[in-house]
Amino acid sequence: MKYTSTFQIDCGVTHGFGIKYPENYERLDFIESETEIEAFKGAYQIATHHARDHLSNPNTDFTTVTLKSLRDSTGKLIPQEPLASKLGILLREGQIFVQCSLLEHLLDLVKDK
């Protein structure tokens, strides 16, 4: 089954010259999965990837990715709380979130070299 995940990404963006500006936008991603729990795990992995792949917000020094919604192919909203409790994933305001700090971004740069 195909699932649609909507993420809110709070990050930073730069137009060059070493200056970062805050940015906040929504992004859709699609997940192929047999079960709701597998789709939820996939959404968590995508959120983690987005958190690592974006610059941190200069106002908070974090990149924060929140799963706003997860829907199946019929458009049915998949509730996050029961799935998160089964997997031991923390929620904020009933939604999963992943944060990556400025320090984590810097450590990733060093690790990749």
Q: Which residues of 94-104 are buried (b: 16+ CB within 10 A; e: fewer)?
A: ebbbbbbebee
In whole angstroms, how far apart are CA 38 and each of 17, 33, 87?
42, 6, 11
Reference 51, options 63, 42, 61, 43; nearest CA is: 63
* Domain spans of the chain, in order of start: 2-112
pLDDT at 90: 84
Query: Does pLDDT of 112 surpass 80?
Result: no
pLDDT at 77: 96
48, two tokens: 């983690």
Query: Does pLDDT of 2 surpass 70?
Result: yes
Reference 46, options 30, 69, 34, 57; nearest CA is: 30
pTM of the model: 0.87
17, two tokens: 């010259």
Query: Does pLDDT of 19 surpass 70?
Result: yes
Give residue-wise pLDDT tens across range 56-106: 888 988 999 999 999 999 999 999 999 999 888 888 888 999 999 877 877
Q: Give the HSE-up count for residue 38: Cα atoms under 13 Å, Cβ half-sphere.
A: 7
